[in-house]
Amino acid sequence: MKPAQALLALLAGAGVSLAGCAGPSTLARSQALVQQGHPLQAVQVLEAASREQPQALDLRAALVRTRELAQHQAVTPPAPGTPFPAVPDADPPAATPPALSEALRKPITIEFRDAPLRSVFDLIARTASLNFVFDKDVRTDQKTSIFLRDATIEAAVQRILLTHQLDHRVLDHNTLLVYPATAAKQKDYQPLQVRAFYLAHADAKAVAASLKTLLKARDAVIDEKLNLVILRDSPELIAMAAKLVALQDVPEPEVMLEVEILEVKRARLLDLGARWPDQLTLAPLPATAGTPLTLADLQNLGSRSIGATLSPLTLSARRSLSDANILANPRIRARNREKARILIGERVPNITTTSTSTGFVAESVNYVDVGLKLDVEPTVFLDGEVAIKVALEVSNIINQLQTKSGSIAYQIGTRTAQTVLRLKDGENQVLAGLINDEDRRTANRLPALGDVPVLGRLFGSQADDQTKTEIVLSITPRVLRNVPRPVGAAAQFDSGTETYAGAGWLAAPSPRATPSAPAAAAPAQAPSETAAPNATNPAPAAATSSLAWQGPTQARVGDTIDLQLVLRTDATVQRLPLAIGFDPQVLQVVAVGEADTDTTRGAGLRAISRVDPSGQVLVTAEGSQPLAAGRLVTLRVRVASAGAGSTGIKLLSAGPLAAGGEALAAPTLPTHTLRIVGGH
Burial of 571 (0-12, 13-18, 19+ CB in 10 A): middle
How distant, in Å, are the alpha carbons of 103, 156, 166, 498, 663 from that of 177? 15, 15, 10, 23, 25
Cβ(504)–Cβ(514) below 8 Å: no
Q: Hey, what long-range contacts does 78-82 have (CB within 8 A, 24 or more apart)?
A: 78/3, 79/3, 79/37, 82/37
What does the pLDDT read at residue 608?
79
What residue type is assigned to position 312 of the chain?
A: P
Between CA 202 and CA 187 the distance in angstroms is 32
What does the pLDDT read at residue 55?
61
Between CA 578 and CA 279 the distance in angstroms is 132
Cβ(548)–Cβ(633) below 8 Å: no
Q: Which CATH number fits domain 545-678: 3.40.50.2300, 2.60.40.680, 2.40.50.840, 3.30.1600.10?
A: 2.60.40.680
In degrees to the nearest 10, what's the CA dihedral of 73, 77, 81, 82? 20
pLDDT digits (tens, 9 = 90+) for 435-492: 888 888 888 887 877 777 777 777 778 888 888 888 888 999 999 988 877 766 667 8
The partner residues of 368 in beta bridges, in order of sequence, read 348
What does the pLDDT read at residue 58?
67
Fold of the domain spanning 193-251+483-490: Ribosomal Protein S8; Chain: A, domain 1 (3.30.1370)
Pairing of strands 131-134, 606-612: unpaired
Between CA 263 and CA 431 the distance in angstroms is 12
Cβ(565)–Cβ(599) below 8 Å: no
Between CA 434 and CA 415 the distance in angstroms is 7
For the chain, list residues with pLDDT below 50.
1-4, 6-7, 9-22, 75, 77-94, 504-542
Cβ(675)–Cβ(645) below 8 Å: yes
Between CA 55 and CA 612 the distance in angstroms is 78
Mention every residue, 6+ apart, whose C-beta is less than 8 A from residue 581.
111, 615, 616, 617, 649, 650, 651, 652
pLDDT digits (tens, 9 = 90+) for 540-599: 444 677 888 888 888 888 888 888 888 887 777 778 888 888 888 888 888 888 776 666
Taking alpha carbons only, the member of 165, 161, 195 closest to residue 183 is: 165
In degrees to the nearest 10, what's the CA dihedral of 156, 157, 160, 165? -150
The partner residues of 195 in beta bridges, in order of sequence, read 231
Q: How many other CB atoms sit within 10 Å of the CB of residue 614?
A: 14
Taking alpha carbons only, the member of 425, 18, 14 closest to residue 254 is: 425
What residue type is assigned to position 352 of the chain?
A: T
Between CA 257 and CA 355 the distance in angstroms is 48
| DSSP per-residue string spanning 65-100 | HHHHHHHHHHTSPPPTT--TTTSTT-PPPPPPPHHH
Pairing of strands 671-678, 554-556: parallel
227-251 burial, b for 16+ CB within 10 Å, e for fewer? Answer: bbbbbebbbbbbbbbbbbbbbebbb
Provide φ and ψ at 153, rounded to 5°.
Answer: -55, -40
Taking alpha carbons only, the member of 564, 539, 537, 567 closest to residue 551 is: 564
For the chain, the structural domain boundaries read 3-92, 193-251+483-490, 257-276+313-477, 545-678
- Angle at CA 138, nearest 5°, toward 536 and 103? 30
Mention every residue, 6+ apart, whose C-beta is less than 8 A from residue 42.
29, 30, 31, 33, 34, 66, 70
Burial of 208 (0-12, 13-18, 19+ CB in 10 A): buried
DSSP, collapsed to helix, strand or coil, labels residue 507 as coil
Between CA 645 and CA 678 the distance in angstroms is 8
Half-sphere exposure of 624 (CA within 13 A, CB side): 4
Determine what percent of the chain falls in helix, strand and coil, rounding each to the nearest 5. Answer: 20, 45, 35
Mention every residue, 6+ apart, whose C-beta is less than 8 A from residue 574.
622, 623, 626, 627, 657, 658, 659
Taking alpha carbons only, the member of 617, 596, 598, 594 closest to residue 606 is: 594
How distant, in Å, are the alpha carbons of 146, 386, 504 from that of 159? 8, 49, 12
